[in-house]
């Protein structure tokens, strides 16, 4: 069965631009969460969606947003990009919020 | 969620068992112990989880002490492909007030290097 799929895998953006990252969860999984990984801060939770509703949010500025569609696919958006937003963005899915979480391969974002 | 303490790095000879310890002395009764690993530049991979009893799957075994204050992940026959950062995480079930699950809180993990 296919795992969590994230697109694009790699992208380069300029400061001030915005970016949208996409995530397709494992088939049947309805809960999707997003994490940011940087060398300095490690893996940090961004937000969690279940049934198209944001259920939990990490300590990130409002420039970071997301949404979930009726088919459980999710997108996250970062507006007004800053150099410090360069990171690996990971999407993870689970059957339901309490279940085991499985990660995708991530989207590498470089802001120049 | 309870914090975990892991050694920053460990080496293991290929073919030998790798035993990765984790201390979670403040774990609550309803918190599970999860193990993930992350190979460089890839997303974390789920390995195993448990609450009280020892668990085994095709990848590894998880031994949780009786007082649940520590656990050990065992890779029975380590290969070079097991070289990765291993994360031990404790996670509570759903926050019934908000309806949201507790997210995974990653520490620094243990860098396991399997040597030929």
Q: How confident is the model at residue A111 (pLDDT cuts 50, 70, 90)?
A: very high
Nearest CA in chain B to A31: B101
Is the dihedral angle over the CA atoms A62, B107, B4, A55 positive or is it negative?
positive
Write out pLDDT tens, residues B50-90.
999 899 999 999 999 999 999 999 999 999 999 999 999 98
What does the alpha-carbon distance between residue A107 and residue A92 come to, in Å, rounded to a whole number? 12
Nearest CA in chain B to A91: B43
Q: How confident is the model at residue B94 (pLDDT cuts 50, 70, 90)?
A: low
Write out pLDDT tens, residues A12-30.
999 999 999 999 999 999 9
With beta carbons under 8 A apart, name residues in chain A contacting B107: 42
Q: Does A90 touch chain B (CB under 8 A)?
A: yes
Asked if pLDDT for residue B28 goes beyond 90, the answer is: no
Name, in order, each residue with C-beta under 8 angstroms of B89's C-beta and a sequence gap of 6 or more: B1, B4, B33, B34, B35, B36, B104, B105, B106, B107
Asked if pLDDT for residue A62 goes beyond 60, the answer is: yes
**What was the pLDDT predicted at B50?**
95
With beta carbons under 8 A apart, name residues in chain B contacting A58: 103
**What was the pLDDT predicted at B92?**
78
Q: Does A4 touch chain B (CB under 8 A)?
A: yes
What does the alpha-carbon distance between residue B57 and residue B19 come to, in Å, rounded to a whole number? 15
Asked if pLDDT for residue B95 goes beyond 80, the answer is: no
**What was the pLDDT predicted at A103?**
96
Cβ of B43 and A101 within 8 Å? Answer: no
Compute the nearest-CA separation of B32 from chain A (Å): 11
Q: Residues 46..85 of A with a Cβ closer than 8 Å to B: which? A: 48, 50, 55-56, 58
């Amino acid at each position: 069965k296919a795992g969590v799929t994230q697109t694009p895998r790699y992208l380069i953006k300029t400061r001030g631009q915005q970016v949208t990252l996409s995530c397709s969860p494992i088939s049947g999984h309805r809960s999707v969460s997003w994490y940011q990984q940087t060398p300095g801060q490690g893996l940090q939770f961004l937000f969690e969606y279940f049934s198209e509703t944001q259920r939990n949010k990490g300590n990130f500025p409002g420039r970071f947003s997301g949404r979930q569609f009726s088919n459980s696919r999710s997108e996250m958006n970062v507006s007004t990009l800053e150099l410090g937003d360069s990171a690996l963005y990971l999407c993870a899915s689970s059957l339901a919020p309490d279940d085991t979480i499985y990660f995708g391969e991530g989207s590498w974002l470089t802001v120049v | 969620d309870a914090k975990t303490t892991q050694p920053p790095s460990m080496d293991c000879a290929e073919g030998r068992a790798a035993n990765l310890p984790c201390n979670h002395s403040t774990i609550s009764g309803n918190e599970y112990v999860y193990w993930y690993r992350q190979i460089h530049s890839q997303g974390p991979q789920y390995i195993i989880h448990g609450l009280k009893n020892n668990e085994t799957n095709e990848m590894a075994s998880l031994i949780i002490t009786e007082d649940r204050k520590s656990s050990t992940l065992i890779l029975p026959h380590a290969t070079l492909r097991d070289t990765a950062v291993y994360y031990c995480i404790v996670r509570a079930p759903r926050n019934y007030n908000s309806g949201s699950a507790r997210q995974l809180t990653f520490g620094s993990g243990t860098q396991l290097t399997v040597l030929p």
